[in-house]
Amino acid sequence: MSDLQISAETFHNQPCLRLRHSSGDSVLVALHGAHVLSWTSGGVERLYLSPRSVFDGKTAIRGGVPVCFPQFNMRGPLPKHGFARNTAWTPVMQTVDALELELHSDADTQTIWPHAFRATLRVDLAPGVVEFGFSLQNLGSTPLDFALALHTYLNVQDLAGLRLQGLAAQPYWDDVAKTNRLEPGVVSFDGEVDRVYQTPAEPLVLVDGTQQLRIAQSENLADTVVWNPGAAKCATMADMPADGYLHMVCVEAAEVNTPVQLEPGAEWTGWQRLSLD
Give the residue extent of every domain in the chain.
4-276
User: Cα 244 to the chain's mean position, in Å?
Assistant: 18
Region 4-276: CATH code: 2.70.98.10
9 a catalytic residue: no
151 a catalytic residue: yes
Question: Measured at the alpha carbon of residue 57, what is the angle toward residues 53 and 61, in degrees to the nearest 5?
Answer: 30
φ, ψ of residue 234 in degrees (nearest 5): -60, -35
Tell me the pLDDT of the chain (277 aa) as tens digits: 589 999 999 999 999 999 999 999 999 999 999 999 999 999 999 999 999 999 999 999 999 999 999 999 988 889 899 999 999 999 997 668 899 999 999 999 999 999 999 999 999 999 999 999 999 999 999 999 999 999 999 999 999 999 999 999 999 999 999 999 999 999 999 999 999 999 999 999 999 999 999 999 999 999 999 999 999 999 999 999 999 999 999 999 999 999 999 999 999 999 999 999 7
Q: Hey, what amino acid is at 260?
A: V
The residue from 131, 151, 183, 255 that is catalytic is 151
Question: Is residue 167 classed exposed, middle or buried when 0-12, 13-18 and 19+ CB atoms within 10 A define those classes?
Answer: buried
Per-residue confidence (pLDDT) for residue 96, from 0 to 100: 81
In sequence order, what are the residues at sequence separation of 6 or more whose Cβ sits closer than 8 angstroms to the Cβ of residue 124? 97, 98, 130, 131, 133
The residue from 100, 131, 183, 252 that is catalytic is 252
